[in-house]
């Protein structure tokens, strides 16, 4: 009995308190609006519940140039599709804008803080399409973390992204200079030959024990020879292979064609731009090669065993990665 009386008194106290607050707000409207404005300017919690503010799309950006491009393409498409304000930090966006003509996004600091404390959505796979990531609420802030390495996420905005992911003129100028110098070493000029770009990614995938044990696979000499022959059998006239790599010692031993030129020691954006200026392209592994292929033209060949089966890395690749990671029309080989 005593417990019931206490509960009734507690409920009565809550009702009276609410009534008293409402009375004060009606009695002192001027003061209450001032208090609200103070809270709005000070506390993100109040801002987050403001129905008049924009809703934001935030993604955690991480990794190298290729990873950043995947995350940007995913975020851009989600924001466009859901009519959200795209938020990317100045540092992260700046890395891309140094190379490409990507427009500014919003730098709303309060938006970034709101996103930081909102529900986070993560993709199931690092590589390949995860349909569940798009089954998120509408009319709310969206906060994503992952690599989102699938063209399927942004297939409806492919043309938009191709317009944005264009090299700055100064990058293209430097790339053309590198190509001219490389061809000059063979006594050739670009308009008289067919250029086949080759990117060989090895580096830490070979030297770092963690990456090796995790399951990364790299293309071998057999793959390169097969891919080069495939193009050679289909192209008439003189061919020059333009080769970039982060392991040039191994690459020069693997590619011994007398018409191969090696571009070494340049900035990553110059290498990528030079390879996209070629008529055809052979990639090995990695997102740098993927985006080079996306921006290139002609025949595009990829290495179709980028991980070792049964390893931890294999679990991060969707089972249909050959369709949802590699771009339609590309040719897989090993």
Domain match, 178 and 325 both: yes
Q: Give the span between the Cα atoms of 108 and 50, in whole angstroms.
A: 15
Alpha-carbon distance of 209 to 201, in angstroms, equals: 16
Report whether 142 contacts 114 (CB < 8 A): no
Q: Based on the domain organization, do 79 and 126 belong to the same domain? A: yes
Mean pLDDT, the chain, whole residue set:
88
Binned at pLDDT 50, 70 and 90, residue 50 comes out as confident
Task: Check whether 1 has a pLDDT greater than 80.
Answer: no
Of 18-22, 128-132, 248-252, 286-290, the poorest mean pLDDT is in 18-22
**Which tops the pLDDT comparison, 266 or 231?**
231
CB 144 within 8 A of CB 133: yes
Instruction: Evaluate if residue 327 carries a pLDDT over 70.
Output: yes
Is 1 a member of any domain? no
Q: Are 128 and 325 in contact (CB under 8 A)?
A: yes
Provide the edge-to-edge strand list for the sheet that holds 120-122: 85-87, 56-60, 142-145, 120-122
Angle formed by the axes of helices 65-82 and 268-276, nearest 10°: 70
Dihedral over Cα of 11, 12, 18, 21: its sign: negative
Does 151 share its domain with 37?
no
Give the structural domain span for 257. 169-333
Query: Are 159 and 174 within one domain?
Result: no
Alpha-carbon gap, residue 110 to 81, rounded angstroms: 23
> Does 212 lie in the same domain as 291?
yes
Q: What share of the chain in percent tops pLDDT 90?
A: 71
Whether 92 and 126 share a structural domain: yes
Instruction: Report DSSP state, residue 192.
Output: G
Residue 3's pLDDT is what? 47
17/99 same-domain check: no
- Does residue 51 lie within any of the structural domains? no
- Is residue 47 domain-resident? no
- Please give the structure tokens belonging to residue 21: 């607050």
- Determine which helix (DSSP H) or strand (DSSP E) holds 211, and give its type and residue range: helix 209-214
Distance CA 145, CA 143 (A): 7
| Percent of residues in the chain assigned helix, strand, coil, to nearest 5 | 50, 15, 35
Q: Note whether 259 and 179 are same-domain residues.
A: yes
* Band of pLDDT at residue 14, cut at 50, 70 and 90: low
**Which stretches of 215-333 are DSSP H helices?**
221-232, 248-254, 268-276, 287-295, 321-324
Are 197 and 320 within one domain?
Answer: yes
> Is residue 84 domain-shared with residue 147, that is, in the same domain?
yes
Given a cut of 50, is residue 207 above it in pLDDT?
Answer: yes
Please tell me whether residues 121 and 217 are part of one structural domain: no
Q: Is residue 81, in this structure, part of any structural domain at all?
A: yes
The mean-pLDDT minimum among 135-139, 229-233, 237-241, 327-331 falls in 135-139
Q: How confident is the model at residue 13 (pLDDT cuts 50, 70, 90)?
A: low
Residue 128: partners with Cβ closer than 8 Å, 6 or more residues away = 149, 150, 317, 318, 319, 320, 321, 324, 325
Q: Write phi, then psi, for 102 (nearest 5 degrees).
A: -80, 130
Instruction: State the pLDDT at residue 127.
Output: 97
Predicted model pTM: 0.86
270 inside domain = yes
pLDDT tens string 124-153: 999 999 999 988 888 889 999 999 999 999
Domain count within the chain:
3
């Amino acid at each position: 009995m005593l417990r019931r009386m206490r509960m009734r008194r507690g409920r009565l106290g809550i009702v009276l308190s609410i009534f008293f607050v409402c009375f004060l707000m009606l009695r002192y409207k001027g003061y209450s609006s001032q208090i609200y404005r103070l809270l709005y300017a000070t506390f993100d919690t109040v801002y987050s519940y403001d129905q008049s503010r924009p809703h934001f799309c935030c993604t955690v950006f991480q990794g190298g140039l290729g990873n950043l491009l995947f995350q940007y393409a995913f975020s851009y498409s989600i924001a466009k599709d859901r009519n959200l304000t795209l938020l990317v930090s100045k540092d992260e966006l700046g890395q891309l804008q140094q190379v490409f003509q990507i427009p500014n996004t919003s730098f709303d600091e309060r938006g970034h803080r709101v996103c930081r404390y909102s529900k986070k959505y993560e993709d199931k796979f690092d590589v390949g399409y995860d349909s569940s990531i798009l089954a998120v609420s509408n009319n709310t802030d969206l906060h994503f973390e992952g690599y989102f390495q699938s063209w399927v996420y942004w297939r409806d905005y492919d043309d938009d992204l191709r317009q944005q992911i264009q090299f700055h003129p100064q990058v293209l100028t430097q790339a053309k200079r590198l190509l001219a110098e490389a061809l000059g070493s063979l006594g050739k000029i670009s308009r008289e030959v067919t250029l086949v770009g080759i990117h060989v990614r090895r580096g830490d995938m070979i030297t770092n024990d963690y990456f090796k044990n995790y399951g990364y696979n790299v293309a071998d000499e057999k793959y390169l020879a097969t891919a080069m022959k495939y193009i050679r059998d289909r192209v008439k006239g003189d061919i020059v292979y333009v080769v970039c790599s982060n392991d040039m010692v191994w690459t020069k031993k693997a590619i011994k064609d007398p018409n191969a030129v090696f571009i070494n020691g340049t900035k990553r954006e110059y290498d990528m731009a030079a390879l996209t200026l070629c008529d055809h392209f052979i990639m090995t592994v990695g997102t740098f090669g993927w985006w080079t292929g996306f921006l290139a033209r002609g025949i595009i060949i990829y290495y179709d065993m980028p991980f070792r089966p049964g390893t931890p890395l294999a679990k991060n690749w969707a089972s249909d990665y050959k369709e949802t990671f590699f771009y339609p029309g590309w040719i897989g080989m090993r």
